[in-house]
């Protein structure tokens, strides 16, 4: 019987606050990325040193450390030290790994190493697992490398793609799976000497697939995973896990601090038919003000954080022009009430025939500018509220192609935010674009 995996590291437990630590790390890293993008951080390539600077973390090149480490200073600040002589792809991952360490509230209590000295606690490998996941989110964040979605990921493809994008195998693997449209998952396993087997450290499935493999489950002693026995070695084949057959493609990577046996990361796919529902965002040519379908429909759009009337040629002005009652309701809750709309707020306006409006306050001011007006963090916050409202009233969501006009934002980032916050969580969503 497979032992139940339990997170034990106190730093991890404090960080997760009762949530699944993997989900918590993905969420915190994504929030960090959105805030950094709002401050002008971008790519590709996405520079982890620039990200550290945005976080007020001092950076220092040192040739006398193995990879990188995060060290607290007497003044309460942090310094990120890194070895510039390491291979560039590995160095970038090491720096991003240390930035992920800074997300832990107790990161200033001790020096955090990547491939440094032996871990002070036997379960400190759990910290390393989460920081590797966080590093992947920072190096290949949401909205990046959409071209990876066009193919089914293989370990050979991952090894080649990561050279092109100058990222680690692990980061490229996780990003590829998050864009996958078939039942598949990325996994990491490490060797456990007490029972001489490789056990799963984490599993990240493709959106829409509930992978039955869980952390703590083991692979066969002489199976596919154990054959990837050295750094850079690959292994491909079928293996049975918990009574089911999976196609596994994997590669050996550097071990955790304090361990001598390489970790193994890879892709697994079920060999038998499995329940899989890949939901996708619908993009059509048409007028969102005459939304497709029947039943309750919620039209969501972006408005600025200003009490000024909607004007110009933007979508909000079209709403005001064609649905004056919706504008009057919004005005009564903001301008008339002397309340300035704040970024991240959503105002719901009911109409008729089952159509409602969600005014998402996610734009800083209005009018033409060289700066990006759309706030990704505010937009993500608004989308979560739109999701709650849509699920409450059983509505589908309909949106114009927001944020790419005066908002000045990246559509790939916006699209993935919509997909993550609405589509992947059960809300049918359609984006409309008027004919050229």
Sign of the four-CA dihedral 10, 15, 21, 22: negative
Give the three-class secondary structure for 318.
Answer: helix
Tell me the domain boundaries of the chain: 1-144, 149-277, 282-433
- Return the pLDDT at 118: 42
Reply yes or no on domain 1-144 having CATH 1.10.8.60: no
Interval 59-97: pLDDT, tens: 999 999 988 999 998 877 899 999 999 988 889 999 999
- Tell me whether the CATH fold assigned to 1-144 matches the one assigned to 282-433: no
Statement: the pTM of the whole predicted model exceeds 0.95: no
Structural domain 282-433, CATH architecture: 3-Layer(aba) Sandwich (3.40)
- Return the pLDDT at 92: 93
Q: In this structure, how many other beta carbons lie within 10 angstroms of the beta carbon of residue 134?
A: 27
Lowest model confidence (mean pLDDT) among 198-207, 336-345, 408-417: 336-345
pLDDT at 307 over 60: yes
> 149-277 adopts what CATH topology?
Beta-Lactamase (3.30.450)
pLDDT of residue 61: 96
Before 333, cis peptide (omega within 30)?
no
pLDDT of 405 strictly over 50: yes
The whole-number pLDDT of residue 309 equals 64
* For residues 339-361, average pLDDT: 90
- Asked if 187 and 203 count as a contact pair (C-beta separation under 8 A), the reply is yes
Q: Is the pLDDT of residue 319 over 70?
A: yes
The model's confidence at residue 46, banded by pLDDT at 50, 70 and 90, is very high
In whole angstroms, give the CA distance from residue 406 to residue 312: 11
Give the confidence band of 234 by pLDDT, cuts at 50, 70, 90.
very high
Residue 117 — very low, low, confident or very high, per pLDDT cuts 50/70/90?
very low
Joined together, the tokens standing for residue 396 give: 């589908």
Tokens standing for residue 324: 């004056």
Structure confidence by residue, pLDDT tens digits, 242-255: 888 999 999 999 99
Structure tokens at 188: 């990491």
């Amino acid at each position: 019987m497979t032992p139940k995996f339990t997170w034990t590291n106190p730093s991890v437990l404090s960080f997760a606050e009762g949530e699944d630590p993997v989900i918590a790390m993905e969420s915190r890293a994504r929030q960090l990325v959105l805030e950094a993008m709002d401050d002008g951080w971008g790519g590709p390539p996405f520079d982890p040193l620039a990200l550290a600077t945005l976080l007020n973390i001092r950076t220092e090149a040192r040739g006398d450390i193995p990879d990188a480490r995060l060290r607290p200073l007497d003044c309460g600040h942090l310094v990120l030290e890194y070895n510039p002589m390491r291979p560039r792809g590995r160095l970038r991952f090491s720096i991003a790994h240390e930035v992920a360490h800074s997300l832990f509230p107790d990161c200033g209590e001790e020096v955090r190493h990547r491939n440094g000295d032996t871990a002070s606690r036997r379960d400190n490998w759990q910290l390393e697992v989460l920081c590797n996941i966080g590093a992947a989110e920072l190096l290949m964040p949401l909205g990046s490398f959409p071209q990876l979605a066009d193919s089914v990921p293989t370990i050979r493809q991952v090894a080649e793609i990561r050279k092109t994008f100058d990222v680690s195998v692990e980061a490229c693997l996780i990003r590829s799976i998050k864009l996958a449209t078939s039942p598949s998952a990325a996994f990491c396993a490490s060797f456990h000497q007490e029972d001489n087997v490789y056990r799963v450290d984490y599993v990240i499935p493709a959106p829409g697939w509930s992978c039955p493999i869980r952390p703590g489950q083991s692979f066969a002693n002489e199976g596919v995973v154990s054959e990837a026995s050295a750094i850079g070695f690959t292994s491909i084949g079928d293996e049975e896990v918990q009574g089911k057959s999976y196609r596994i493609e994997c590669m050996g990577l550097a071990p955790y601090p304090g361990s001598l046996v390489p970790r193994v990361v890879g892709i697994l796919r079920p060999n038998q038919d499995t329940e899989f529902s890949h939901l996708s965002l619908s993009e059509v040519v048409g007028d969102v003000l005459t939304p497709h379908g029947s039943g309750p429909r919620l039209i969501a759009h972006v408005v600025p954080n200003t009490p000024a009337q909607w004007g110009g040629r933007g979508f909000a002005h079209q709403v005001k022009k064609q649905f004056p009652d919706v504008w009057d309701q919004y005005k009564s809750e903001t301008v008339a009430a002397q309340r300035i709309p704040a970024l991240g707020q959503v105002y719901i306006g009911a109409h008729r025939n089952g159509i409602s409006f969600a005014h998402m306050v996610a734009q800083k001011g209005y009018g033409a500018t060289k700066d990006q007006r759309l706030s990704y963090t505010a937009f993500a916050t608004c989308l979560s509220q739109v999701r709650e409202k849509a699920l409450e009233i059983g509505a589908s969501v309909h949106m114009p192609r927001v944020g790419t006009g005066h908002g000045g934002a990246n559509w790939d980032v916006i699209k993935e935010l919509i997909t993550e916050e609405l589509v992947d969580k059960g809300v049918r969503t359609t984006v409309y674009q008027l004919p050229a």
